[in-house]
Structure 1
């Protein structure tokens, strides 16, 4: 019997993933001054032990002001390198490559954690708000503060901050980086006509709105080793009139690939406010078609994400050629050993080898004893 494609290796530039399941970047909001702590270590240890193929750290701010919330991780200081190295070493003990999502939250920075509403920090919050930056002086939503429109010098500094963050990722021993160009954050804001009303080289037509994304990719690609993968997370559609459509994202993906992006992590949405979000009903695998079309038409590897919760569903994504990798978020929070359990369900003969020997040996023995009793 042939091996299910979900459990075949995948090579992204110079990095091998032992299977196609990847920990999606999930913000934890538990950092102080952007530093990794024991919470992050415990959070990732669950996945490292569970048979996953690869992992991404959460949206990690390239500047202090680019944090989504006061509890977000950062990569703007060399002091943050040791914590990043600690998580990389954890995953490497289990042959799992680790990447970091380099991020700047733009006009959605300075916000409260989700369980406190995700609204802007203000007079009623424990942590003071800080000024936010965006392509244009347009608030994210009616009750959000108006950001400062970025000057050309601001843009140059942001590009340099992404490059500096990538350099720190290399120094920390991470295996790849992902540039966050999605979910209504700064790079996405520049690309979306719904947030970008500039009339200079960074606004207006498609080429100008795509300029920041491409310049960030060039800057990052220039400072990382040639063998290191560079990924890009895209919001493939804005789901709002006058916003980004899938045709735009296919076109952008082709340009990104030409600049050295190895994979497009294909997500959606985030540019509109909470009212638009609450009106959207998400169905299982609803974003997989975005990954499929980008993969087919832009000729670049993709990762599918969004309500992929079952082993056979994930395997079918790979069987269909819709994506090269599958990112899991809440499915892993619910079951950190999703990869191992998926391997059992898909009847992978060496499923127990996905686990550390001190776990896999005893689970394999239990399975053998159970089968003997059943015969």
Structure 2
């Protein structure tokens, strides 16, 4: 019977895997023995690139990405090489085996493995790593192994699945899981807006706010899990700009502070000569001067996020926001009495 070094914590949270340890592929394509590394590959397929970018924050404070799921890790040949040449790593989310004998006993010599924190508690052994068969050994993955999420949902010991098949187990990967994993991998552009007057606003005169057309376009990323045929495309569509003047002594246009994004990706209307006293479709009127300390004008874009999957499924994810701030100096109108 195999003697295993076990932990009640996610396996990737202990053991100190070094960069030279071999095992399943992580998202960069390198081999890793840690169950904290996902093989999901995320690539941006459309949308602006370069410049200041960041990840969106969910408008639903209760939403979380999936804590864990299962992924294919080893072919029989890869498992043989790993087990006989290293044999130190995660055999499950809550099980770390350190020493080649633990791996060879179970995956080569058909000896059953006994676990404490996972179910089933006794796992039947394999003969010669299933060499000659087409398929993969699968293991649970939890990118955030230091969090409080319930990784026990994916703690099954590494198991075999024939090629072309997705395991019929809870937390098997789906396009929706891939889309949720990709949520915080979506990079959106910063939201520094154009202002007129640009350098210094004047009390009681409107400041026009706008962004040129094409500044904000849909951002689409594709998440794929190698060896499964599963993929999902997650799309972030800009829908509104929200302004916060940085002080209560200000009026917003419109009053909600929400400026719609036009079909061409522009926001508001550029200021032109002669509009100084007009009300802008998107802008701010400051009612008091800054007095040496600038107001912090914040501009945040709301992104509607949807997804489509390889199996024809689709859906919505929580809206996301990305915010930037910029200094706003406001001066009093200067007049001379004669």
The TM-score normalised by the length of structure 1 is 0.21
Q: Which has the larger radius of gyration?
A: 2
The one of the two structures with greater contact order (alpha-carbon pairs below 8 A, sep at least 6) is 2
* Between structures 1 and 2, the one with greater strand share: 2
The TM-score normalised by the length of structure 2 is 0.22
* Between structures 1 and 2, the one with greater helix share: 1
